[in-house]
Chains A and B, each alone.
Chain A
Amino acid sequence: MSMAADDRELRDESLDGLQLSAQLERIWRTPSGLLGALMSVDHKVVGRRYIVTAFAFLLLGGILAMLMRVQLAGPEKTFLSPDKYNQIFTMHGSTMMFLFAVPVMEAFAVYLVPLMVGTRNIAFPRLNAFSFWMFLFGGCFLWISFLLNVGPDVGWFAYVPLSSLQFTPTKRADVWAQMITFTEVAALAVAVEIVVTVFKLRAPGMTLDRIPLFVWAMLVTAFLVMFAMPSIMVASTSLILDRLVNTRFYDSSSGGHPLLWQHLFWFFGHPEVYIIFIPGTGMVSMILATFARRPVIGYPVIILSLIAIGFLSFGLWVHHMFVTGLPQLGAGLFTASSMLIAVPSGLQIFCWLATLWDGRPVYRTPLLFVLGFIAIFVIGGLSGVMVASVPIDTQVHDTYFVVAHFHYVLIGGAVFPLLGAVYYWFPKITGRMLSESVGRWNFWLAFIGFNVAFFPMHILGLIGMPRRVYTYTAEMGWERLNLLSSVGAFIFALSFALLLANVIYSLRKGARAGDNPWNASTLEWATSSPPPPHNFDRIPVVKHRDPLWADSESLPVVAGLSAERREVLLTSLAEAEPQVREASPEPSIWPLLTAIATTVFFIGSIFTPWAVLWGTPPMAITLIGWFWPTGSREDEA
């Protein structure tokens, strides 16, 4: 396939293999030095930074979890004060949800989606860099506040009136609310990039029914982010306004309503669960196909399930509010939706089991984590069906049963697939294999530790232990189960220490990976490990859903793209037919400067409304700098 060529410009068909690689590497590489690193717009560089930062926050959130488990290991312990405990459980939830779970999934997408769809960079690469800086600054803002004893202590959902100025007169609730704004800006930016990348930057021939399942999952997730996140941004902004300039959105004495907060929060909060879970299912589908050594059974059924889950996730939020006195008919409707979301989730699980059954599975570490995911997620799903029922939910609401349920869903549904994904894609990202024997220890410690830590919490909840209590008395009879849970938590933590050791060791001494060490079928494995700055010397043409299995010798490729400037190929939405060559932005320092200006604006605005006034000009200046025409080739049509 050849694109119409402009005679004045050097194009890839004029160069042979080595010349072309060298020329493209020169054009697409990130500039050297510190300034160059800060200017990078390479999706792989930004994706790696995102992944490492998100895992750093996982480590911090995990340390907080360990502190809580030490405190709760026995009755009436004084290891943590009540105030510190409140801050720690709030920081744990906020860190895990906003600084780890969502960002790490988007981080993998930032790294992998452009490779999987066969393009050279993500759409809007400068926005991508801006997104990372916003995420980093927002996370640092939260954690520095915590270290200065201004960490939020109002729960990861910051219910009013507890988070109102009357009951939280310090800046703790403001820190929480503005951290939300940081991370949501970052998440929304990545969502837009993913949607445009999937819709317009796919390799020719990658029709809608040839898109890899992880990419489909990230596409659905991106839409969820775009429709769910504005709700929490409205909520957090209105909370700050209530606290800063007395707008009274949530003050019932002035016509506001506290329940408005819960509606806004959970309209975001429930899809948030699926924003974390759906990418996990995409990872599972990819890993399963490779290690079952056959395509996933029911490709259309899995996509149907992803789309259905995406829609249904917006109709479940009230099941978090069953005890707030809503009309019972309304609660019944949300129960119905909550029960029915088990249908598409179940369809996916049956497709995966059928794939394993019909395949020739090779039980390497990534597949072990997938099997662990299936077992744990099914248990979490079953307890989810239980709490979707109003009578049961009324009994176990705000008890450790709910804590057990959502950890089974979130860790089972997202963290286990994620750990499988780390083992699966580590060779592609670093060029080195992780140790298989350490990986097996890692899996079994994680699986056993997780279940020992969280299964007893079901029982603790059923016998009445409430959430968010910093201690309990010996007469309650919760001591042994809490101790067991704490032991399990430390075993679980040990599994992450093994993962960290495995990563550090393998980065230096791991076996060389090669381009496609797992004999996988999708396009990210068609390039070197790690991929070059331009991803592919020539853009592949896709003629099969599993291109590397169908064309194992050599993929057909596109010719005619520029070899003088950064250029990507745009294709049509459904058929992925080539449409136009488009310039891709050069590295720039402006995304970082814009993020710094935005950070000053955001942090200033929790102290004084004047920050909106004096914070805007620096942002405007940096945005003008960002978009200012430079006369370079990238500005040409």
Chain B
Amino acid sequence: MTTGDGHTRLLYWAGVALGPLAWGINLQGVYTFAHFSCEKTRLSGAILSIVLAIVALAGTTVSARAVRRSAGAEWADAQGGGPRTFMAWLGVGTGVLFALVIANQLAASLIISPCLR
């Protein structure tokens, strides 16, 4: 296995890892910074959410590239037997889903004042 192959293998998981990680940071980050946002900048939560939504989508993109590279050689059909492509597809879906959750939280942070108790 070459170094490039090793990297490709790891990158299959990018969407599965980055999507939930970005969402977790967003949830805790915006919640934690709510007090700070009220006193200083009201947009800090929104900015954080936008950045992290991009991170989640980056995971999707990396996983999608991994799928495209190996789709010819290893395709997970009903028979199974293509675990890395399969996990890459999961990465594509997970990244999109968690970007959607972050976007929903972004909407909340734009609508609700961080000063509201």
- Report A's interface with B, CB cutoff 8 A: 205, 207-210, 295, 299-301, 303-304, 307-308, 311-312, 314-315, 325, 327-330, 332-337, 339-340, 343-344, 543-546, 550, 574-575
A307 and B116 contacting across the interface, CB-CB below 8 Å: no
In chain B, positions 13-71 with a C-beta closer than 8 Å to chain A are 16, 20, 23-24, 27, 30-31, 34-35, 37, 45
Residue in contact with A337 in the complex, picked from B16, B93, B105, CB distance below 8 Å: B105
B117 and A327 contacting across the interface, CB-CB below 8 Å: yes
B80 and A207 contacting across the interface, CB-CB below 8 Å: yes
B34 CB to nearest chain A CB (Å): 5
Q: How far is the CA of A110 from the CA of B27 in the complex (A)?
A: 35
Q: How far is the CA of A339 from the CA of B105 in the complex (A)?
A: 10
Which residues of A sit under 8 angstroms from B23, Cβ to Cβ? 311-312, 315
A332 and B109 contacting across the interface, CB-CB below 8 Å: yes
B90 and A295 contacting across the interface, CB-CB below 8 Å: no
B14 CB to nearest chain A CB (Å): 14
Interface size on B, residues (CB 8 A): 40
Known A304-B97, A308-B94, A340-B100: A545·B34 in contact at CB below 8 Å: no
B80 and A333 contacting across the interface, CB-CB below 8 Å: no
User: Which residue on B lies nearest to A301, using beta carbons?
Assistant: B93
B83 and A209 contacting across the interface, CB-CB below 8 Å: yes
Q: How far is the CA of A304 from the CA of B86 in the complex (A)?
A: 10
Q: How far is the CA of A327 from the CA of B116 in the complex (A)?
A: 6
A210 and B80 contacting across the interface, CB-CB below 8 Å: yes
B81 and A337 contacting across the interface, CB-CB below 8 Å: no
A329-B113, A330-B31, A332-B111 given. 6 additional CB < 8 A pairs? A304-B97, A307-B90, A328-B112, A333-B108, A337-B27, A550-B79
Identify whether the interface residues of B are mostly helix, strand, loop, or mixed. Answer: helix
A428 CB to nearest chain B CB (Å): 23
Q: Quick one: CB contact mask for B96-108 with A, threshold 8 Å, 1 for yes? A: 0110110011011
Which residues of B sit under 8 angstroms from A344, Cβ to Cβ? 97
B109 and A337 contacting across the interface, CB-CB below 8 Å: no
User: Which residue on B lies nearest to A328, using beta carbons?
Assistant: B116
B91 CB to nearest chain A CB (Å): 9
B83 and A575 contacting across the interface, CB-CB below 8 Å: yes
Which residues of B sit under 8 angstroms from A550, Cβ to Cβ? 79
B104 and A300 contacting across the interface, CB-CB below 8 Å: no
Q: How far is the CA of A628 from the CA of B15 in the complex (A)?
A: 45
Which residues of B sit under 8 angstroms from A575, Cβ to Cβ? 83
Which residues of B sit under 8 angstroms from A333, Cβ to Cβ? 27, 30-31, 105, 108-109
Q: How far is the CA of A409 from the CA of B109 in the complex (A)?
A: 29
B113 CB to nearest chain A CB (Å): 7
The 8 closest A-B pairs by CB, nearest first: A332-B108, A210-B80, A209-B86, A208-B83, A328-B116, A311-B20, A336-B104, A545-B80
Which residues of A sit under 8 angstroms from B98, Cβ to Cβ? 308, 311
User: Which residue on A lies nearest to B85, using beta carbons?
Assistant: A209
Residue in contact with A335 in the complex, picked from B83, B94, B108, CB distance below 8 Å: B108
Q: How far is the CA of A343 from the CA of B101 in the complex (A)?
A: 10
Which residues of B sit under 8 angstroms from A308, Cβ to Cβ? 20, 93-94, 97-98
User: Which residue on B lies nearest to A339, using beta carbons?
Assistant: B104
A340 CB to nearest chain B CB (Å): 5
B106 CB to nearest chain A CB (Å): 9
User: Which residue on B lies nearest to A295, using beta carbons?
Assistant: B78
B116 and A329 contacting across the interface, CB-CB below 8 Å: yes
Residue in contact with B34 in the complex, picked from A205, A304, A329, CB distance below 8 Å: A329
User: Which residue on A lies nearest to B109, using beta carbons?
Assistant: A329
Residue in contact with B101 in the complex, picked from A295, A307, A312, A325, CB distance below 8 Å: A312
17 inter-chain pairs at a CB distance below 8 angstroms, sorted by A residue, are A207-B81, A208-B83, A209-B83, A209-B86, A210-B81, A295-B78, A307-B16, A307-B90, A315-B27, A328-B112, A328-B116, A329-B30, A329-B31, A329-B116, A330-B34, A337-B27, A550-B79
B109 and A303 contacting across the interface, CB-CB below 8 Å: no
Q: How far is the CA of A70 from the CA of B42 in the complex (A)?
A: 54
Q: Which of B45, B98, B101 has the most CB of A within 10 A?
A: B101
User: Which residue on B lies nearest to A574, using beta carbons?
Assistant: B83
A490 CB to nearest chain B CB (Å): 42
Which residues of B sit under 8 angstroms from A340, Cβ to Cβ? 100-101, 104
Which residues of B sit under 8 angstroms from A307, Cβ to Cβ? 16, 90, 94
Tell me if B11 counts as interface (CB < 8 A to partner A).
no
B101 and A337 contacting across the interface, CB-CB below 8 Å: yes
A327 and B83 contacting across the interface, CB-CB below 8 Å: no
